[in-house]
Amino acid sequence: MKRVTPVLLLALTAFAQTGKQPATNHDAATSQQDTTDFVRDLRGARAQQSGPAFGFASNTFAVTGAAGKTVRFSAWIKTENVRDGYAGLWWRVDGPGEGIDRPQLAFDNSQWRFIDGKPDTGNGIVRGATGTTPWTLYELELPVGTTASSINFGVLLTGTGTAWVDAMKVEFDGEPYSNPQADFDFESPKTKGFIVGCGGTTICTGYNYKVGIDNTVSYSGHQSLKMQFVGDEAAQKSCGWPEPLKTNPENLNFADGAVGTAPKGWLVPQRFSQVPIYEAINVPAEQCHGSQQCVTVHSLQRDPTSLTFLYQDVDVTQHRGQTLIYRAFVRVDPGQKSVARLLVRLHRKDCSTAFRDDMGDHPITSGDWAVYKIRAPIAKDAYHMEFGVQLIGQGAAWIDQSSMEYYP
């Protein structure tokens, strides 16, 4: 009985603690930003302290038929050498409102548990799997308030080690939930219906976790979901970008994929939080600059200190010695004091930076559509390119008609 809903929202929640992401070797500017770490509780309080990183699988669905009921979420979990953390379930129910303004009605991540913003029984006690354990059934139960507007749920691994998850089940007042578009038994070739790792990548390079399908271990059927800590050494060896790199960018015009889903080929890391606090989704023509659809990146929590980056990684070997012109139409939400910037970074095989431009001296702050561009000379020893649009702090940015041109 495997079921999951299509992913429309990437939002775990703030844990009671969040911390800095381990720095990669991208460049000194990024590493300097990553030195900002803080604790954030579920009501937004802050203090100076670090928390653990994590690997995750995230899902969401509409609350139709669930509001006013009690949810029971369960899955079988097996672990190997999980230390300094745990593997467990998480569930979040948000109330009415838009984005970061929605109140959190209920939350449980197998350690921190809140109902209507107040600590509930079991809060602060790890109820997930630690160490090396056989297949064990884990469950959590939460109320879905009558004013609920969205539900987000999934599994996570904090600390080191490996965890496998299988045979998920969701019930509302004892009635099983099902959706043919998703797979709770993980028997599909990919994690159908789930966002995994970091912004949908198979290797969460910033957090040093690998999340995906394992066809060698299962509780039932032939496959399971595997979450594995791969460590700093693996991340440094790859310089923080995936290998092998794709040779050409994907979906520059954001035409692929349905409205309300994540833009195909694009990634959204979560820079300063141990949990995702941004999402990127395709939006319809009325929000775009002449296209049938474009993309928006927006914050899910009120946090002016964080940032995210809608980006792609590409091999630029074929364009060495040429000049790239990267363009995109962009507008932001001035009511939220949003700030956006185009960004292009070029790296050599040894991880050193060959070029960087992030519009640092002229960021995008206007609510009107305008075209912006970066001119990037590609060094003769350049190997990796990272390009896209940054959103700094809270609010939203819309991106349309991005393009790339190469000149001798």
Report whether the peptide linkage leading into residue 244 is cis, meaning its omega lies within 30 degrees of zero: yes
| Res 42: pLDDT | 22
| One-letter amino acid of 100 | I
Which phi and psi (to 5°) does residue 397 adopt? Answer: -135, 145
Domain chopping of the chain, boundaries: 28-237, 278-407
User: Three-state SS for 12?
Assistant: coil
Task: Establish how many alpha carbons lie within 13 A of residue 348's alpha carbon, considering only the half-sphere containing its beta carbon.
Answer: 7
The least confident of 2-11, 40-49, 145-154, 389-398 is: 40-49
Give mean pLDDT, residues 301-317. 80
| Res 47: pLDDT | 23
Which class for 216: exposed (0-12), middle (13-18), buried (19 or more C-beta within 10 A)? exposed
Res 315 pLDDT > 90: yes
User: Three-state SS for 279?
Assistant: strand
94-148 pLDDT tens trace:
888 765 567 888 999 998 888 987 888 888 888 999 999 999 999 999 999 898 8
Res 229 pLDDT > 90: no
| Res 308: pLDDT | 81
Confidence of residue 276 (pLDDT cuts 50, 70, 90): low
> Residue 84: CB partners within 8 Å, gap ≥ 6?
52, 158, 159, 160
Q: What is the pTM of this model?
A: 0.50
Confidence of residue 278 (pLDDT cuts 50, 70, 90): confident
Distance of alpha carbon 137 from alpha carbon 153, whole angstroms? 17
Distance of alpha carbon 260 from alpha carbon 25, whole angstroms? 33
Domain 278-407 has CATH 3.40.50.2000: no
164-205 pLDDT tens trace:
999 999 999 999 988 777 899 999 988 888 888 643 333 344
Above pLDDT 70, what percent of the chain? 77
The least confident of 59-73, 171-185, 197-211, 228-242 is: 197-211
Res 25 pLDDT > 50: no
